[in-house]
Structure 1
Amino acid sequence: MQVILDRLRRNPAALARLLFASMMVNLLGIASSLYMIHILNRYVVYGVSSTLVTLTVGVLLAIAGEYAFRAMRLHLAAEISSDEDVRMSIGLYGLILTAPLDTLKRRPAEEIEAMVRNVDQEAQAFGAANIAAISDLPFVLFFLFIIFLLSQPLALVTLVVMLVLIFSGWRGQKRMAKPVQQWRGVATRTAALLATALRAAESVRHFRGKGLLIRRWTEVMEDSARIRHVIMGLSSAMTSMAQTIQAMGGVGIIAVGAVLVVEGRLDVGSLIGANILAGRALAPFGRMAFLAEAFKKAEFAMTAAQNFAKTVEAEPETGDSSERCHGHFSLRQVNVQWPGRPIPLFVSLSLNIPTGSICVVTGPNGSGKSTLLHVLAGLQQPTQGQVLLDGIEMRQRAPEWRRRHLGFLPQEPTFLAGTLRENFHAAAEGLTEEAIRHLLVTAGAARFVAEHPLGMDLQLSYDGREIPPGIRRRLALARALAQNGPVMLLDEPTVGLDREGTDAVYTLLITLAKTGKTLIIATHDSNIMKGASQIIDLAQQGAGS
């Protein structure tokens, strides 16, 4: 509910148009009550046919006008709803794309996926129809005023019923908060188990993971059914309570009105008209009770997204953009520690990597070779210390400048969901087909692409599982070369490659070294280590195991 009100406040011009349309809908809505009053008080008493015709034509015109303004209001509400949904979705996705990796990795990927999916799904609660229904709320007092003009006692009865409905709805919302929050936790667990079944299919099958996952899935589904039962019970109870209160209110209005009619203080036509107006005044509260579950789920989803946005900062788009990059790295007392890990990877790590050097980073598994390359690439910030590139702190460098000058091959290559051509164009704009083919030849991936039926139009998923691991690494190496920057950061460039692939990498490294590029390579490959001008053994540099 609060989210919808915030949306309306952020669009004052659209809100004004929406309220105008709602005002016309509610003004014209009085026509049916007035029609009933005049028919019973005039036509039935005097039987003048012209009166019947005039009143009937008038009320039909009012009903047609009300329909037109309802359609207009729905269109205006749709504009507000869709614009806000698109803006929030783009903003949230953009934040995920630009958030620092170390910040993003503090949350499980499944939790973030569930959060985005929940926001997208629960945005339906803030749809046009519901916004239009909420726009009727300010005019409840208008109907109450009209009833007051007809009969003060009936207005008092309507007001009491209205207050009872408001209290009932508020209490129901409070009771629904806890189970809806539990439902969000179940949704995250469901997403995690489903991701495991799909992304670790080989391990699930070969290492007998079926039994464990089925047990956990059963537990989650039982929790889901239990929580869903509680939520549905509360939602049904709120709806039933609202309907009961409205029905009792109708009885109260008729009962009190009947006494007033007998006493001569009210006529029958006014009683029936007041009853119709009371129904119009109470209808929005019944609608709110019906939507309580959807509103509460949407509120939690939006709150989770807003909290995520507050705790995650997007990387700055500005910074030092000096045209030249020489490739001279200096690390001064660098500490790196992953969130939740008691032992740091690096403690007071100081390095000097001169321009044009061939630096090999080695060390046991878990010593931080890949993390060091992430730090040098600016993808991860050190906990303490400084990382300087050509004498300038890496944090001061503009992200776009880093990407343009630093080629990077990750240990586990991933791709953008799209064609192979789109992946190269995203890495380096303006690449021609000939330039891409040259990169593929250099990385030893040209034959695979040439023999594939789709060629450069080959569709890649984010993890590239549709292509062999060795080919995947060659394609990632070709993409790393696309920037043609003075620095190459290569993480295990020969792992998973056959003899032909490793020979292509050796040849490439020799060529890059001759051109004066700074090569920083994480590897245990003895052939690469032989040609190194500098070897950094992280096992002897204060790195944690």
Structure 2
Amino acid sequence: MDTDTQPDKRAWLRTIVDPLRPVARELLAASLFVNLLALAAPIFVMQVYDRVIGHSGLETLKGLVIGMVLVLAFDYVMRQSRGRVMQMVALRIDVEVGTRLFDKLMRLPLRTLEGRPTAFWQQLFRDVDALRNTLSGASAILLADLPFVFVFLGVIFVIGKPLAAVFLVMFLLFILLAWRSGRALADSAQREKNVTASRDALVAEIVAGRGIVKSVGLDRAVRPLWEERQAGAIEHAIQRGAVADGYVTIGTELTQMASILLTTVGAIYIIDHELSMGALVACNMLSARLYGPINQLVGAWKSFGGFRQSVDRLSELFAESEDRSEATMRLPRPNGRLTIENLNFAYEEDAPPSLGIERLDIVPGGVTAILGKNGSGKTTLLKVLMGLYPPAKGRVLLDGADIAQFSRGELASWIGYVPQDTLLFNASVRDNIAYGAPGCSDEQILAAARAAGVHDVIADMPKGYATGIGEAGSKLSAGQRQRIAIARALVGNPPVLLLDEPSASLDRQAEEDLRATMAELAKTRTVVVVTHSPVLLPACRDVVVLDRGHLLAAGPAAEVLPRLFGTRPAAAPQQPPKPNPAAAVPPHQMQARVTP
């Protein structure tokens, strides 16, 4: 089965390489001329020794020099042409593989993206560099030159036939060295890469949380971890380097041994008048062209091993299943009614369900609050409603249509989302809002900012909407980042708006403003908010209470909240009262439909 599926996994590579076959023929043609022209120098030296020096042939020397000048000029042109071919290949690989990788990442399901560390996804883009360097760099030229080694071996047989046996034996020794070094370097490079990946993953986590690391003083705790992984990476790097250096040294010694042996045997044949002095010198020059590529192959195995690993990683990624890219049915702009039927969702196949809801309806025209303890499944429920987490059983309906039928792009345009951890990009305020609906007009951006209650704040900034916000919005306060994220979710005017703890970074006045904003937005769309804030609860028409992934209570806020808290909460209590499970909705009402 593995032999059948492996070619399919690498089908993407063939689609990249196959169109490059004409370019590869140009490369081989250029390499042919470059290597044939390389024969000119040894032949020139042989002729000078045998015909010019011994016969004082100055006219012959003049002709040979003129010929070599022309050869060198043509060689320069051919090498430049080969370099341009390599640049074109590099550009094509960068564009096609890089674009395909980015598009693939954007189409992967969220669970797949969350299943690997950040360092893994960063490594994939370095794998694109490995492909480019191998297919269009020195490694590609080395592979193009390798077949012409047999051409030089054939010329040696012609001009220095008595030395052929020496060349043949040394050539076989170099081949054996290259094969053995390739296996050894592949094993050591794989061990080094595994340890280095672990270290890079830790560094990525430290950099991502650098603010917490600095403020809490976590450097004392993470330093031993880093030192341990760094020591392991250094140890394996030294081991791999020692293996590589050992084989390179052996290759160098073989080269010198070959030169000494060639000169010794050649001298004997010259004394016996079976070989000319010029032929011996020419064969010595040709030996460098013969052993050079094979000796380079000894040091290039690391690159080839990295190339194979990069291809394997990219092949596994491109074989991953994707989000739906095209809808199976057309649906006009929904009204925003959300329905859950017999839903079960688990993060792992063998794990107990993280969510288990038999029936839940959320209707437009009001704010629905989702309450529950930490870890009760509130954020998971939002991601299931958006289609980011496909349920193992059951379905989610939008206006009566299963959301599994629609593409990720359509769902994103219909369901706005403000996550608990706000993500902004290092761009202007306007750009960050516009990312929610690419191609939107300035009027839409202004309307979204006003609806989110952040327009006045932006107007007071030094450059208004053109103000840069820094990396991840570092130049803004947490509340400003939250409001801009809400504006980004609203710029496409989605019929459904999901908010995950939107007031976590807001002060009391900002919370009250957000409550008024939510009430206004809910007049024309479905608003679902996960919150622990008592300030936002008075704006909620309906309440859904989760406990350990199951529906504990659902219904109008005026009925559920008194049972949940024991009494009706004040409009803005200072501390949220703790839920009283004993006073919650009884079990026979747990599947109550959320209605106005």
**Fold shared per TM-score above 0.5:** yes
Report the Cα offset of residue 346 of structure 1.
0.8
**Number of the residue aligned with 2:586:** none
1:142 and 2:143 aligned = no
| Residue 248 to residue 264, structure 1, CA distance change in 2 (3 Å) | same
Paired with 1:398 and 1:183, the residues of 2 have a C-alpha distance of 41
SS of equivalent residue, structure 2 residue 319: helix
Relative to 1, partners in 2 of residues 1:220 and 1:127: Cα closer, same or farther, differing over 3 Å? farther
User: Partner residue of 2:331?
Assistant: 322
Q: Counterpart in 2 of 1:211?
A: 220
Q: Tell me the distance in 1 between the aligned counterparts of 2:396 and 2:168.
A: 68
Pairs within 5 Å for 1:372-521: 372-460=381-469, 463-515=472-524, 517-521=525-529
Q: CA deviation at 1:117?
A: 3.9
Partner Cα distance (1:435, 1:527) in 2: 29
Aligned-pair CA distance for 1:54: 0.9
State the 1:475 CA deviation.
1.0
Given residue 157 of structure 2, which amino acid in structure 1 is its aligned partner?
F
Q: How far, CA to CA, are the matches of 2:399 and 2:34 in structure 1?
A: 68
Counterpart for residue 94 of structure 1:
103
For residue 322 of structure 1, give the secondary structure of its aligned residue in structure 2.
Answer: coil
Could you tell me how far 1:100 is from its partner in structure 2?
1.2
Aligned counterpart in structure 2 of residue 20 of structure 1, from 25, 29, 33: 29
Q: Aligned partner of 2:334: which letter?
A: C
Matches within 5 A, 1:74-89: 74-89=83-98
1:217-232 maps to which residues of 2 (within 5 A)?
217-232=226-241
Q: In the alignment, residue 479 of structure 1 is paired with which amino acid?
A: R
Q: 1:253 aligns with which of 245, 250, 262?
A: 262
Residue of structure 2 in register with 1:169 after alignment: 178
Please give the secondary structure, in 2, of the residue aligned with 1:291.
helix
Q: Which moved more, 1:361-370 or 1:435-444?
A: 435-444
* Contact 1:161 1:249 (8 Å CA) reproduced: yes
How far 1:126 moved relative to its partner?
4.9
Match for residue 366 of structure 1?
Answer: 375
Alpha-carbon distance in 2 for matches of 1:338, 1:465: 32
- 1:542 and 2:557 aligned: no
Q: Residue 530 of structure 2 aligns with which residue? A: 522
**Distance of aligned partners of 1:14 and 1:498 in 2 relative to their CA distance in 1, 3 Å threshold:** same
Matched with 1:283 is 292
- 2:561 aligned residue: none
Q: How far apart are residue 60 of structure 1 and its match?
A: 2.2
**Offset at 1:375?**
1.4
Q: State the shift of 1:206 in Å.
A: 4.9
Q: Which amino acid aligns with 1:489?
A: L
Counterpart amino acid of residue 204 in structure 1: V
Q: Secondary structure at the match of 1:135?
A: helix
| Residue deviations 1:277-327 (CA, integer Å, cap 9, x gap) | 222122111222233334433443443333233335365255434223122
Q: What is the identity percentage for the equivalent residue pairs of Structure 1 and Structure 2?
A: 27
- CA shift, 1:18, in A, is 0.7
Distance in 2 between residues matched to 1:470 and 1:48, nearest whole Å: 90
Find out whether 1:73 has 2:86 as its counterpart: no
**2:518 alignment partner AA:** L
Q: Mean alpha-carbon deviation: is it higher for 351-360 or for 465-474?
A: 351-360
Given the superposition, is the C-alpha separation of residues 287 and 364 from structure 1 closer, same or farther in structure 2, using an over 3 Å criterion? Answer: same
SS at match of 1:112: helix
CA root-mean-square deviation: 2.8
Answer with 136-145 or 433-442: which moved more. Answer: 433-442
Structure 1 counterpart of 2:71: 62
Shift of 1:19: 0.8
Amino acid at match of 2:370: V
- SS of the residue corresponding to residue 396 of structure 2 reads strand
Which residue, out of 329, 334, 343, partners 2:343? 334
8 Å contact 1:407–1:481 — kept in the other structure? yes
Residue equivalent to 1:35 = 44
Residue aligning to 2:283: 274
Checking the alignment, whether the CA contact within 8 Å between 1:100 and 1:314 is kept in structure 2 is yes
8 Å contact kept, 2:544–2:551: no
Deviation at 1:540, TM superposition (A): 7.3
User: Which whole-Å CA distance do the structure 2 matches of 1:445 and 1:177 have between them?
Assistant: 56
Amino acid at match of 1:110: A
Q: For residue 136 of structure 1, report the CA deviation from its aligned partner.
A: 0.8
The Cα offsets for residues 445-464 of structure 1, whole Å up to 9 and x where unpaired, read as 12321222132123345632
Distance 1:435 1:158, change over 3 A: same
Deviations 1:151-182 (A, max 9, x none): 44433432332222122122112112233223
Return the match for 1:309 from 298, 310, 318: 318
Counterpart of 1:418 in 2: which secondary structure?
coil
Q: Do the aligned partners of 1:242 and 1:286 also contact (CA within 8 Å) in 2? A: yes
How far did residue 251 of structure 1 move? 2.5
Query: Aligned with 1:32: secondary structure?
Result: helix
Between the two structures, name the one with larger relative contact order (CA 8 Å, sep ≥ 6). 1
The alpha carbon displacement at 1:79 in A equals 1.5
Deviation (angstroms), 1:9: 5.3
CA contact (8 A) 2:386 2:411 kept: yes
2:324 touches 2:407 (CA, 8 Å); kept in 1? no
Structure 2 letter corresponding to 1:459: G
Tell me the amino acid that sits aligned with residue 281 of structure 2. I
- Determine whether 1:181 maps to 2:190: yes
State the 1:349 CA deviation: 4.0
CA contact (8 A) 1:320 1:398 kept: no
2:404 partner amino acid? R
Q: Does 1:51 align with 2:60?
A: yes
| 1:461/1:118 CA distance change after superposition, 3 Å | farther
Cα displacement (A) at 1:495: 2.4
Give the C-alpha shift of residue 127 in structure 1.
4.7
Shift of 1:414: 1.0
* TM-score normalized by the length of structure 1: 0.91
Letter in 2 for 1:539: D
Aligned residue identity for 1:525: S
SS of the aligned residue for 1:489 comes to strand
| 1:441 Cα deviation from its structure 2 partner | 2.5
Q: Are the aligned partners of 2:423 and 2:472 in contact in 1 as well (CA < 8 Å)?
A: yes
| Residue 8 of structure 1: how far off its partner (Å) | 5.9
- Does the CA contact (< 8 Å) of 2:328 and 2:406 recur in 1? yes
Instruction: Write the distance in 2 (CA, Å) between the matches of 1:303 and 1:28.
Output: 38
**Relative to structure 1, is the Cα distance of residues 153 and 82 closer, same or farther in structure 2, using a 3 angstrom cutoff?**
farther
| 1:345 and 1:543 in contact (8 A); partners too | no
Partner AA of 1:217 in structure 2:
W
Distance, in Å, in 2 between the alignment partners of 1:10 and 1:160 is: 39
1:154 aligns with 2:163: yes
Following the alignment from structure 1 to structure 2, what is the Cα–Cα distance between the partners of residues 352 and 185?
48
Select between 311-320 and 422-431 the one with higher mean Cα deviation.
311-320
CA contact (8 A) 2:422 2:485 kept: yes
Amino acid in the other structure paired with 1:14: V
Distance 1:265 1:114 in 2: 59
Q: Is the contact between residue 182 and residue 301 of structure 2 (CA under 8 Å) also seen in structure 1? A: yes
User: Deviation of residue 275 (structure 1)?
Assistant: 2.4
